[in-house]
Amino acid sequence: VKCGKVDGAAVPEVTQSRLSAIQVDAKTGFAHPAIDAGFKELIPLVKSNGCVGLTISNSYNCGV
């Protein structure tokens, strides 16, 4: 966050682009909140469709 490459206050935008596809734009924020936001939409779709793809874009990843 200090270097300016990541927006610590970014709010991910979730879009269901197809019946079994979810896209999450992390808005240059961290990947983890984007993944969490995507999973909230993903679980019900998996239960009804059997298989769902989830993509995360514009995110910053950091390992622990």
List, for residues 6-60, the tens digit of each pLDDT value: 898 999 999 998 899 999 999 999 999 999 999 999 999 999 999 999 999 999 8
Provide the residue count of the chain: 64
29 within 8 A of 7, measured Cβ to Cβ: yes
Q: What is the pLDDT of residue 5?
A: 78
Is pLDDT above 90 for 4? no
How many CB atoms within 10 Å of residue 60?
17
Q: Between residues 4 and 11, which one has the greater pLDDT? A: 11
Is pLDDT above 70 for 2? no
Domain ranges of the chain: 13-60
